[in-house]
Each structure stands twice: as C-alpha cells, then as structure tokens.
Chains A and B, each alone.
Chain A
Amino acid sequence: MKTLFGLALALTLIPLAAADGKYGGENRGRPLQPAQVNAKWQQECASCHIAYAPGLLPAASWRKIMSGLDKHFGDDATLSAQENQEISAFLVNNASNRWSANTAPLRITESQWFKAKHNSREIAPETWKRPSVKSPANCQACHVDAARADFNEHRIKIPK
C-alpha cells in the first residue's frame, strides 16, 4: 500500500517536474508552428531542406542561425537584408516557448529533447545511415508530414 501510494505520488509529481526543467530546459515549443506561417520563410528555407518549424529551437538559436547564413552548415544561404529581417522575425516570434535553458544550439539534433526522443534504444545508429534516411536533419524521411510540423509518433514510418 505504501509503495502504491509512493508510486501515485511520484506519478503526480512527474508533470510538475516536466513543466519546467524537462530535457534540462531544452524543450521544443508548443505549438511547434503557428497556424499562419510566413510565406517567405516557407519559400526560402524550403529551397534546400524542409522549412524547420520555429518551435524546434529557442529564439537565441534562430538569431545565431540567421546572422550566419553565408556559412550555413557549409553552404551559402545568404538572403537579402529585407528577407532576412522578415524571416528572422517570424522565427524569433514563434520560437520554442518551453526552452528555459541558457543554451542556443545551431542544430536541432543537438537539443536535449531531440536526443531523448531519438535515443539509441529506440533508433539504432545504423538506421540513421540508411540512404533512405541520409541524416538526422532529414526529418521527413520518417516523419512523413514534417514539412507541416506534424511529428506525431503515430504517423512515423521508418523507411527500409
């Protein structure tokens, strides 16, 4: 009985703990993406990869990324000053609202929530290397509707 009570108490405490320091404060936002998205963000970011949802990173990350587009993970992704300003504003205004840590990774895959959700027990390291997956940045390989910020785990299809 005591154990049961302890368990029940622990279970009620989990959401409390989750509200703040979940994933060491590196938690993605909710919603990940506003219902109305910015057309320039969609058009420009999706030229080379899916337009990653703003809520996947904190505002500080987006500021860093948008100020270094001339060296964007090895590619030149320079925008005009006006486009940059407009897209930055959309990203920063809709950045993760649940990120409390004083961190600002450049890669979504470096965040604690990402690592926890994609741990090696659930996804073998070899899976990432499949040509059909190519890299962890290729969300839509498994999250079929990632481009619409749909990362629901019931709709994951890991390709062979």
Chain B
Amino acid sequence: MNKLLLTIVTLAIALPLIAEANPIQDGYRAAAKQENPGFKDFSAARGQAFYSAKSGDLACASCHGSSPKSAGKHAKTGKDIQPMAPAVNAQRFADAAKVEKWFGRNCKDVLNRACSAQEKGDFIAYMLSVK
C-alpha cells in the first residue's frame, strides 16, 4: 500500500516535468552547445521577447497572433493559422522536420536570416511555458 502511494506521489511530481520536456527542443539544446560553448539554457522570457519583436514590418506575432494560445491569421493571405502553444494544439512541436521547415522559412521571412539554435530553443521554451 505504501509502495503504491509512493508511486503515485512520484508520478504526480514527475509527470508535469515530463510534459515540459520536448525532444525537438533537446535537439536544439545539443546544437546550441555546439554553437556556443558558454551556452547555459533556454529561456521562455527571451523566447517571448523574440516572438513579439518586430524586424522591419514583421514579427512572429504578425501572423501567429499576440497570444500563442489563440489562432493567428497569415498577414498576407488572411488564412487562419492554428494556435502555436502545445497546451492548446498538441500537433505543435511534435514533428522535428516540420518544426525545422517552418523555422527555416519564417526566420527568413521575418529576420532575413536563419535563426540560431539558441533562438529556436528559446522560442520553444516560451511556447511550452504558455498554459
């Protein structure tokens, strides 16, 4: 009986931690360490600032909306874009190739350059932090 209780308590503590982990973000963590030997960790706050920061006319938020929990609208075509936060859209950050494809495209659209692994990881940290 005590053993069962212990298991339940352990799971209750561990499950939210497991839910936070994201294998795609882990991939960017390894890449960020390669990019920068002084790399510490990803930051949701930095990700949030990055998400809202305008470069020229555009920010991530221009199409994805001011809240990652709500649907956005493509700035040019007006097409609805499903929410970015995995808390409300389980399909987000679940397919590494898809994530890399869209970072590849949209970093060029917004920043005119590729994003660093640090930026991508910060971005995901922010998305995972939105509940």
Q: A36 vs B80: C-alpha distance in the bound complex, in angstroms? A: 25
Stretch at the interface among A8-16, A73-81, A104-112: A73-81
Chain A residues near B74: list those with CB within 8 A: 48-49
Contact B77 A76 (CB under 8 A): no
Per-residue contact bits, chain B 92-124, to A (CB 8 Å; 1 contact, 0 not): 000000000100111011000000000000000
Contact A49 B77 (CB under 8 A): yes
A30 located at the interface, meaning its Cβ lies under 8 Å from any Cβ of chain B in the complex: no
Chain B residues near A49: list those with CB within 8 A: 74, 77, 79
A38 located at the interface, meaning its Cβ lies under 8 Å from any Cβ of chain B in the complex: no
For B102, the closest partner residue in chain A by CB is A47
Contact A75 B104 (CB under 8 A): no
B76 located at the interface, meaning its Cβ lies under 8 Å from any Cβ of chain A in the complex: yes
CB within 8 Å of B: which A116-158 residues? 134-135, 137-138
CB within 8 Å of B: which A42-62 residues? 48-50
Chain B interface residue count, CB cutoff 8 Å, equals: 11
Contact A75 B105 (CB under 8 A): yes
Picked from B78, B101, B109, the residue with its CB within 8 Å of the CB of A75 is: B109
Per-residue contact bits, chain A 61-73, to B (CB 8 Å; 1 contact, 0 not): 0000000001001
The interface residues of chain B, by DSSP majority, are classed as: helix
Chain A residues near B78: list those with CB within 8 A: 134-135, 138
Chain A residues near B106: list those with CB within 8 A: 76
Contact A48 B77 (CB under 8 A): yes
For B105, the closest partner residue in chain A by CB is A76
Q: A80 vs B104: C-alpha distance in the bound complex, in angstroms? A: 11
For B110, the closest partner residue in chain A by CB is A76
Chain B residues near A78: list those with CB within 8 A: 101, 104-105
Chain A residues near B77: list those with CB within 8 A: 48-49, 134-135, 137-138
Q: A137 vs B109: C-alpha distance in the bound complex, in angstroms? A: 20
Q: A48 vs B77: C-alpha distance in the bound complex, in angstroms? A: 7
- 6 A-B pairs with the lowest CB-CB distances in the bound complex, closest first: A76-B105, A76-B108, A49-B77, A134-B78, A76-B109, A75-B109
Can you report 11 residue pairs joining A to B where beta carbons are below 8 Å apart?
Answer: A48-B79, A49-B74, A50-B79, A73-B76, A75-B76, A76-B105, A78-B105, A79-B101, A134-B78, A135-B77, A138-B78
